[in-house]
Amino acid sequence: MMDIEVEHQLPVEKISATLAQNDRGEFRRVFLELHFYDQARLLIQLDEQQRGKVYRYLSAKELGDMFDELEVNEGNAIAYLKEMNPHQGAMVLSEMYTDNTVDMLSDATSSDLATYLNLLPSGEKNEVRKLLNYEDKTAGALMTTEYVAVSIDDSVGTAMQVIRRLARDAEIIYYVYVQDDAENLIGVVTLRELLSNDKRAMVREIMNPNVYSVFVDDDQADVAQTVREYNFLAMPVVNRAGHLLGIITVDDIIDVIDEESTEDYSGLAGVNVDDLEESPIMAAVHRLPWLITLLILGMSTATLINHFEGLVSEASILAVFISLITGTAGNAGTQSLAVAVRKISVENDRKMIQLIRNEVITGLLIGVVTAIVITVIVGIWKNNFVLGAVIGISMVAAIIVANLAGSLIPILMDKIGVDPAVASGPFISTLSDLTSVMIYFSIARIFLNYLI
């Protein structure tokens, strides 16, 4: 039985020992038993000199398998590739799955990119060049070209032969795509179905002609949604003419889902939670621009209160409730924002208007209940129900406006093409501070005589 804790421990010391003793055989014996992902994790714990030996002790294919995992899981895999001479580096790149090769090269400087491309075998070079041209976060940028395809005229037996031949190199062999003579994607058959049928049966009889596919320029979030709904292990990618160009496997979809949810989450908080290893200095540098921007927006609220300073000096009791109103409205607005951003990613236009309408109505209901509660509390506490009513009315109005902002702003941003996740929680709550104060003091001024 394998304890999951034990399995995750890497034999770092043992490997270091084999490297120190220049024992190529023993190193290979221990290292190649590890899962590729663990090989990658171990590599980054070695120093540069040790890694140099690792590059010499492993074949290009073995390094390629490891670098596949390095690229997917580490941000800066190309730095490790550059520790080898360019010829070896290019060989390793050609042994990797093409989607990972492309990801690694898209992080390279233009001169490094040119160097490696020139050293790749020409077939690979063209494939990589094509994939590099796809826009980030589209199906084309995610796909790989190592898939299994058969002709519609093939038999099950022929298909099985193709699979056996490609078993080591294809990224996935469990879905077999069916093409006609013009290389159009016209069907799919699973390995499961092939195994359930006699060798002499024809692919065209057992294939599923209603094959789901995505266009090469489809947004990655839409691709992820389809995989999620239909539980596919891979999606074929076609161009507008229907030619099969590549496939996206479910593990890459999981990475997309993680990326999209991290973006939503980051947007709500106004901070990028992706880089978990950054130092406090880098964290401060990253967060400051947005915070200073919000500070300046907050200054307009200060300017507004300043405009009403006379009012406050006459009825200083008003200062007591500033943060209560701004805070409650801010909380409500953040809730509306969170719901709106989540809905935008899955719904269409007509529903957006309904969303705004619903959020405003929700704000009204919440506001009325909150207003009644606060009117009673303040009225009893300060023995002044006019004051209570002022706070209560301000509360209702502030909450409705905050909910409106929280739902409308991300929708508008989505319309003009900006990622709605950028309309962060802090922005909405700082904006609602401004509107809440404006409402509060305007109402208070009307009833000033009852508040002094």
The CB density around residue 446, as the number of other CB atoms within 10 Å, is 11
CB 195 within 8 A of CB 172: no
Distance CA 15, CA 32 (A): 11
Distance CA 266, CA 424 (A): 8
Which residues does residue 238 pair with via DSSP β-bridges, in sequence order? Answer: 215, 244
Least distance from C-beta 183 to a second copy, angstroms? 11
Question: Measured from the CB atom, is 45 or 313 closer to a second copy?
Answer: 313
Q: Binders of a second copy among 100-129, rule CB under 8 A?
A: none
Q: Which residues in 169-213 belong to E strands, given as ranges?
A: 175-179, 185-190
Per-residue contact string for residues 81-100; x = within reach of a second copy by CB under 8 A: --------------------
Q: Does 321 help bind a second copy (rule: CB under 8 A)?
A: yes
Distance CA 131, CA 399 (A): 49
Q: Binders of a second copy among 368-407, rule CB under 8 A?
A: 369-370, 373-374, 377
Among 85, 110, 111, 192, contact with a second copy (rule: CB under 8 A): 192
Among 13, 123, 181, 195, contact with a second copy (rule: CB under 8 A): 195
Distance CA 188, CA 207 (A): 6
Question: Measured from the CB atom, is 15 or 90 closer to a second copy?
Answer: 15
Least distance from C-beta 369 to a second copy, angstroms? 6
Least distance from C-beta 322 to a second copy, angstroms? 5
Q: Which two tokens stand for residue 221?
A: 């979030």
Question: Measured from the CB atom, is 52 or 242 closer to a second copy?
Answer: 242
Among 48, 111, 122, 168, contact with a second copy (rule: CB under 8 A): 168
Among 12, 20, 44, 284, contact with a second copy (rule: CB under 8 A): 284
Q: Does 331 help bind a second copy (rule: CB under 8 A)?
A: yes
Q: Does 445 help bind a second copy (rule: CB under 8 A)?
A: no
Among 53-61, 76-84, 85-93, 282-290, the segment contacting a second copy (CB under 8 A): 282-290
Among 39, 100, 144, 326, contact with a second copy (rule: CB under 8 A): 326
Least distance from C-beta 294 to a second copy, angstroms? 6
The CB density around residue 30, as the number of other CB atoms within 10 Å, is 16
Least distance from C-beta 404 to a second copy, angstroms? 13
Pairing of strands 148-151, 234-238: unpaired
Among 84, 149, 305, 401, contact with a second copy (rule: CB under 8 A): 305
Among 108, 132, 257, 386, contact with a second copy (rule: CB under 8 A): 257
Q: Which two tokens stand for residue 388?
A: 């209570």
Distance CA 68, CA 90 (A): 14
Per-residue contact string for residues 9-38; x = within reach of a second copy by CB under 8 A: ------------------------xxx-x-
Q: Binders of a second copy among 203-232, rule CB under 8 A?
A: 210-215, 218, 222, 226-231
Pairing of strands 234-238, 244-249: antiparallel
The tokens 């606060």 sit on which residue?
A: 374
Give the strands of the sheet with 175-179, arranged side by side. Answer: 148-151, 175-179, 185-190
Which residues does residue 244 pair with via DSSP β-bridges, in sequence order? Answer: 238
∠ CA 259-263-267, rounded to 5°: 170
Among 264, 379, 413, 443, contact with a second copy (rule: CB under 8 A): 264
Q: Binders of a second copy among 404-443, rule CB under 8 A?
A: 425-426, 429-430, 433, 437
Number of residues located near a second copy, criterion CB under 8 A: 121
Phi, psi of 214 (to 5 degrees): -125, 155
Distance CA 377, CA 393 (A): 14
The tokens 């890694």 sit on which residue?
A: 51
Among 12, 20, 114, 320, contact with a second copy (rule: CB under 8 A): 320
